Amino acid sequence: MPRPRIDRLSAVLALPLLAAPALSAFGLRPNRIAQPQALGWAEAFGAPTAAALAAGTLLLVVALLLLRRPGLRMLLLAAALAGLILMLGRGAAILLEQAAPAARVSPGLGFWLAAGVLVLLLVDAFARMQPGPAPRAALLAATLAAVAALLGSGVLADLSVAAEFRLRAAAFHKATADHLVLAFGSFLAALAVGLPAGLAIQRHRALRAPVLNLLTLIQTIPSIALFGMLIVPLAWIAAHVPAAAEAGIRGIGMAPALVALFLYSLLPIVANTVAGVDAVPPAVAEAAAGMGMTGAQRLRMVELPLALPVILAAARIVLVQNIGLATVGALIGSGGYGTFIFQGIGQTATDLILLGVLPTVALAFLTSAVLDLVIASFRMQPP
């Protein structure tokens, strides 16, 4: 009888997955800044249900070890993940019924471990199907729809982060708008400046080293220092140029954060524009000139289209970087999700920190995934 072949990644991850039901599923706190008390599944659902969950986990592990077809694995893992999240929401509701009014319930270590392993295996199963852009787009859309349904359904409404959100819905929407303006506004400005600059230094080799060195130098300045350094000149401009002050430019707030993110965005855009145009094969460039294309036609018809995937890769780097860095802008009053993070740190309120961190991570992930898709769909076409 042939020995069944065991799935290796599942074997490695079997132990943490099996251990997860035994670890704390929930953290219960009497109020939003108190220390959490670790509770297991049994405390919310009773011992029989907890035992059934552990048995179900064992079955899942065995199935994962033996099942090799990626499609089946994905279905199984998605079902397990959905079940886990539903149980988290239900458990939080049960625990809150028995607790004091100000009490909060957050996910515990066991939940995070199980969810992390399931997501990892899910991504692995999907990657094994070697999906093209279309299935990837479909999965992204399905994930977004699932997350939206989950948040809209109220299943997770009893979790502490959701409670924190309800307290600050208006501030959250304002922060979202500010964060998008910071990350995407600075990117668009950097694109408007960096693309022509990159094309210019690609043609004039003598300018290359100085420009790229300067931008690299800017990149090495720590973000907090750069935000701070910009306060002085921008405050001076606001004081001496009335029009600038009317446009909202001040030493603190949105303006210095936008400028700092803009400066950080320049290096990837300029460097990749140069690299992308440099990578146009010499014979192709020579043919374009020899066919009688004008400089503008060469740029539009040949150089930019061929450099586009490399420039899009820069856009991805810059946007993900900006979405993360924009949180630091909150220190100088720029708004955005960072506001919650720094307030939360000040109050030692984990839920408030998470209210800033989770949407930042989600936004960065979404942006990266969408741009990956765009780049992949360009790569599908030659070259």
Partner 1 sequence: MIEIEALTKTYGGRPVVDGVTARFARGTLTAIVGSSGSGKTTLLRMINRLVEPSAGRVLIDGKDVARIPEVSLRQGIGYVIQGYGLFPHWTAARNIGVVPTLLGWPRSRIKARTQELLHMLQLDPAEIGPRYPHQLSGGQAQRIGVARALAARPEVLLMDEPFGALDPLIRRQAQRDLTRIRRQLGTTVVLVTHDMNEALYLGDAIAVMRDGRFEQFGPPEDIVRAPATPFVADLVGETGRALRLLALKPVGTLLRAGQAQGDPVDAAASLSDALAEMIWTGRDRLPVVDGRGQGLGIVTRDDILAAGRQAPPA
381 lines the binding site for partner 1 (CB under 8 A): yes
| CB nearer partner 1, residue 47 or residue 284 | 284
| CB nearer partner 1, residue 222 or residue 292 | 292
Rg of the chain over all Cα atoms, to the nearest angstrom: 26
Candidate residues 132, 210, 305, 346; the one interacting with partner 1 per rule CB under 8 A: 305
Gap between the Cα atoms of 267 and 276, Å rounded = 14
Nearest to 162 by CA among 33, 341, 351: 351
Structure tokens at 32: 């939003």
Do 269 and 314 touch, CB atoms closer than 8 A?
A: yes
What is the footprint of partner 1 within residues 172-211 (CB under 8 A)?
none
Angle at 353 between CA 170 and CA 256, to 5 degrees: 70
| CB nearer partner 1, residue 206 or residue 283 | 283
The 3-state secondary structure of 206-222 reads HHHHHHHHHHHHHHHCC
294 lines the binding site for partner 1 (CB under 8 A): yes
292 lines the binding site for partner 1 (CB under 8 A): yes
- Least distance to partner 1, CB of residue 291, Å: 5
Q: Peptide bond preceding 210: is omega within 30 degrees of 0, i.e. cis?
A: no
- Select the span of 163-171, 245-253, 299-307, 357-365 touching partner 1 (CB under 8 A): 299-307
| CB nearer partner 1, residue 166 or residue 379 | 379
- Select the span of 152-160, 179-187, 263-271, 300-308 touching partner 1 (CB under 8 A): 300-308
| CB nearer partner 1, residue 180 or residue 306 | 306
Tell me the CA distances in angstroms from 268 to 38, 271, 276, one per residue in order: 45, 5, 12
- Select the span of 48-56, 154-162, 195-203, 298-306 touching partner 1 (CB under 8 A): 298-306
| CB nearer partner 1, residue 130 or residue 381 | 381
* Total residues interacting with partner 1, rule: CB under 8 A: 21
What is the footprint of partner 1 within residues 261-290 (CB under 8 A)?
281, 283-290
| CB nearer partner 1, residue 4 or residue 290 | 290
Q: Which residues contribute to the site for partner 1 (CB under 8 A)?
A: 281, 283-294, 297, 301-302, 305-306, 381-383
